[in-house]
Amino acid sequence: MSSLLSPTDTLNREKISVRTILISLLLLPLIYKWHIECEALRYTFPTLMAPFYSVVFTLLVIATINMVLKKYIAKHALTGGELISLYVLMSITLLFMSYDMFLPLVSIIVHAFYFGTPENEWRELFWHYLPDWLTINDPSVLRAFYLGDEPFFETHYVMKWVIPTFWWCAFTFALIFVMQCINVIIRKQWTEQERLVYPIVELPYQLSYNTNRFLRSRAMWWGFGIASIISLVNGLNMFFPSIPAFPNKYISMSALFTEKPWTAFLRGGDAIIIYPFAVGLGFLMPLDLLSSCLLFFFLYKAQYLIAILTGLENIPGFPYPYEQNIGAYMGICAVALWGTRRHIWRAFRTAFGRQIMEEKEPMRYRTAFLGLVFGGIFIIGFTMRGGMATWIALLFFAVHFATIAIPLTRIRAQIGFPIHSTTFIGPHHSLVSILGTRRIRAQNLTWFALFFWFNRDNRSHPMPHQLEAFKLAERGNLDVKGLSRLMLILTAIAMPLCIFMLTDTFFKLGVNTGKVGGQINSFGGRAFRFLEGWLTAPQDPNSGHIAAITVGFSVTILLSAVRSRLFWWPIHPLGYGVSFHLHLFWAAFIISALAKWSVLKYGGLGLYRKSVPLFLGLALGDFVMGSFWNILSIILDRPTYTFYY
3-class DSSP string for 282-317: HHHCCHHHHHHHHHHHHHHHHHHHHHHHHCHHHCCC
Q: What is the mean pLDDT of residues 593-600?
A: 97
Sign of the CA dihedral with 296 first, then 301, 305, and 307 last: positive
Confidence label for 7 from pLDDT (cuts 50, 70 and 90): very low
- 551: number of CA atoms within 13 Å, CB side? 14
Q: Residue 630 region, left (φ>0) first, then alpha (ψ -120 to 50), else beta? A: alpha
The residue length of the chain stands at: 645
Q: What is the DSSP letter of 478?
A: B
The domain total for the chain is 1
Q: What pLDDT score does 109 carry?
A: 97
CA angle 392, 396, 402 (to 5 degrees): 140
Share of residues in the chain with pLDDT > 70 (%):
98
Q: What pLDDT score does 3 carry?
A: 38
* Angle of helix 80-94 versus helix 53-72 axis, rounded to 10: 160
Confidence label for 5 from pLDDT (cuts 50, 70 and 90): very low
Confidence label for 1 from pLDDT (cuts 50, 70 and 90): very low
Does the pLDDT at position 610 exceed 90? yes
Confidence label for 354 from pLDDT (cuts 50, 70 and 90): low
CA distance 281 to 199: 7
Does the pLDDT at position 8 exceed 50? no
**14 three-state secondary structure:** strand
Q: At residue 68, what is the residue type?
A: V
Give the range of the structural domain holding residue 499, as residue numbers without chain letter: 14-41+79-197+285-584
CA distance 290 to 417: 9
27 contacts 20 by C-beta, under 8 angstroms: no
301 contacts 268 by C-beta, under 8 angstroms: yes
Q: What is the mean pLDDT of residues 339-357?
A: 86
Q: How many CB atoms lie within 10 A of CB 139?
A: 10
Q: Is 224 a domain residue?
A: no
Nearest to 3 by CA among 13, 69, 492, 29: 13
Q: What is the DSSP letter of 244?
A: P
Contacts of 347 (CB under 8 A, 6+ apart): 185, 188, 365, 368, 369
Q: Is 645 a domain residue?
A: no
* Angle of helix 287-310 versus helix 586-636 axis, rounded to 10: 100
Q: At residue 133, what is the residue type?
A: W
Q: Is 118 a domain residue?
A: yes
Phi first, then psi: what are they for 478, rounded to 5°?
Answer: -90, 160
Q: What pLDDT score does 518 carry?
A: 84
Q: Residue 387 region, left (φ>0) first, then alpha (ψ -120 to 50), else beta? A: left
Q: Which residues pair with 3 in a beta bridge?
A: 17
CA distance 361 to 374: 20
CA distance 365 to 355: 11
Run of H or E including 252: strand 251-252
Q: What is the mean pLDDT of residues 496-523?
A: 93
CA distance 444 to 389: 7
Run of H or E including 272: strand 271-272
Nearest to 48 by CA among 529, 630, 569, 639: 630
Q: Which of 7-16, 60-69, 538-547, 587-596 has the lowest mean pLDDT?
A: 7-16
Q: What pLDDT score does 496 carry?
A: 98
Does the pLDDT at position 2 exceed 50? no
Q: How far apart are the first and last CA of the chain?
A: 43
Q: Is 273 a domain residue?
A: no
CA distance 624 to 610: 22
292 contacts 392 by C-beta, under 8 angstroms: no
CA distance 151 to 128: 30
Q: Which residues pair with 251 in a beta bridge?
A: 272
Q: What is the DSSP letter of 17?
A: B
CA distance 261 to 399: 36
Radius of gyration of the chain (CA): 24
Q: Is 170 a domain residue?
A: yes
The CA-atom distances, in angstroms, between 523 and each of 103, 134, 458, 529 are 8, 16, 13, 10
Confidence label for 519 from pLDDT (cuts 50, 70 and 90): confident
Does the pLDDT at position 187 exceed 80? yes
Task: Give pLDDT tens digits for 382-417.
Answer: 999 999 999 999 999 999 999 999 999 999 999 999
Q: What pLDDT score does 473 carry?
A: 95
The CA-atom distances, in angstroms, between 39 and each of 45, 96, 496, 497 are 5, 11, 18, 16
Q: Is 65 a domain residue?
A: no
Q: At residue 335, what is the residue type?
A: V
Q: In 311-425, which residue ranges form alpha helices assigned H by DSSP?
A: 321-339, 341-352, 365-385, 390-400, 406-414
Q: What is the mean pLDDT of residues 605-615?
A: 96
Task: Give pLDDT tens digits for 140-160.
Answer: 999 999 999 999 999 999 999
365 contacts 185 by C-beta, under 8 angstroms: yes
Q: In 36-188, which residue ranges form alpha helices assigned H by DSSP?
A: 53-72, 80-94, 102-115, 122-125, 139-147, 155-188
CA distance 230 to 237: 11
CA distance 174 to 86: 23
Contacts of 602 (CB under 8 A, 6+ apart): none
Q: What is the mean pLDDT of residues 33-43?
A: 91
The CA-atom distances, in angstroms, between 500 and each of 162, 494, 602 are 9, 10, 56
Q: What pLDDT score does 11 carry?
A: 52
Burial class from Cβ neighbours inside 10 Å (0-12, 13-18, 19+) for residue 616 reads buried
Confidence label for 173 from pLDDT (cuts 50, 70 and 90): very high
Q: Is 242 a domain residue?
A: no
Q: Is 607 a domain residue?
A: no
Run of H or E including 271: strand 271-272
CA distance 566 to 582: 27
Strands 251-252 and 271-272: antiparallel
Q: What pLDDT score does 44 carry?
A: 84
**259 three-state secondary structure:** coil
Instruction: Say what the alpha-carbon torsion angle 339, 435, 464, 276 is, to the nearest 10 degrees.
Output: 110
Instruction: Say what the alpha-carbon torsion angle 449, 454, 455, 458 is, to the nearest 10 degrees.
Output: 150
The whole-chain average pLDDT of the chain stands at: 93
Q: What is the mean pLDDT of residues 11-40?
A: 92
CA distance 67 to 215: 10
